Amino acid sequence: MEQAIYAELPEEGRSEIEDLFNEMRKEFKGRPEELIPMLQRAQRRLGFLPEQAMLEIARITRLSAARVFGTATFYAQFRFQPVGKYIVRVCRGTACHVKGSDRLLETIVGYLHAVPGQMTPDGLFTIETVACFGSCALAPVMVINDSVYGSLNRSRALKLLGEIRNSFPLPKLASLP
């Protein structure tokens, strides 16, 4: 089945979105020029822009839904699908490519069982690729959230990801009857 472009927030996130908009109604006047700051604020809190958030912003600013969705999709900074707690960005620029970023990415994809743009089922990771971080001297480069890792090889990348994964307890298995 094809994935919808704009994801909806799952049921358990509904109260989060209500809290967010209660706060935003106090912070913003609802002027059309506040559209981008409002989208940024919603994404900071929710991790992405669910369809409900964009519709609510349209209501508050009295802009059409088409205008809000069109503006949000115009800017690369906005996401429309949920992301993992850790965003793993692998550089695919020329310098990193020459130093083996393709193999690095392949290893990470294999380890996390998720392709770029997809969140792992445990909600921990999302893999992304980037054209260049501007740190070419450190190639190949991977960034996890705000931490930059340079001169990376596959075993070090796996160690870093394994450390993160191991720091989260595995969900308990349901006890058998």
Number of residues that bind ligand FES (CB under 6 A): 11
Of 3-11, 45-53, 135-143, 163-171, which segment contacts ligand FES by CB under 6 A? 135-143
Residue number with CB closer to ligand FES (84 or 93): 93
* CB neighbour class for 140 (10 Å; exposed up to 12, middle 13-18, buried from 19): buried
Q: Shortest Cβ distance from residue 102 to ligand FES (Å)?
A: 12
Q: Shortest Cβ distance from residue 72 to ligand FES (Å)?
A: 27
Cα(32)–Cα(38) distance, integer angstroms: 10
Q: 125-130 and 86-91: which strand pairing?
A: parallel
* Residues 63, 35 contacting (CB under 8 angstroms): yes
Q: Shortest Cβ distance from residue 89 to ligand FES (Å)?
A: 10
Q: Return the number of other C-beta atoms located less than 10 Å from residue 15's C-beta.
A: 9
Position 152 contacts ligand FES (CB under 6 A): no
Position 136 contacts ligand FES (CB under 6 A): yes
Assign residue 172 a region: left if phi > 0, alpha if psi is -120 to 50, beta otherwise? beta
* CB neighbour class for 109 (10 Å; exposed up to 12, middle 13-18, buried from 19): middle
Position 139 contacts ligand FES (CB under 6 A): yes
Give residues 72-101 in contact with ligand FES (rule: CB under 6 A). 91, 93-96
Position 36 contacts ligand FES (CB under 6 A): no
Position 141 contacts ligand FES (CB under 6 A): yes
Tell me the per-residue interface mask from 41 to 70 with ligand FES, x by CB under 6 A, - otherwise. ------------------------------
Which residue in the set 48, 69, 125, 133 belongs to the binding site for ligand FES (CB under 6 A)? 133
* Residues 159, 118 contacting (CB under 8 angstroms): no
2 in helix, strand or coil?
coil
Instruction: Report the interface residues with ligand FES, using CB under 6 A.
Output: 91, 93-96, 132-133, 135-136, 139, 141
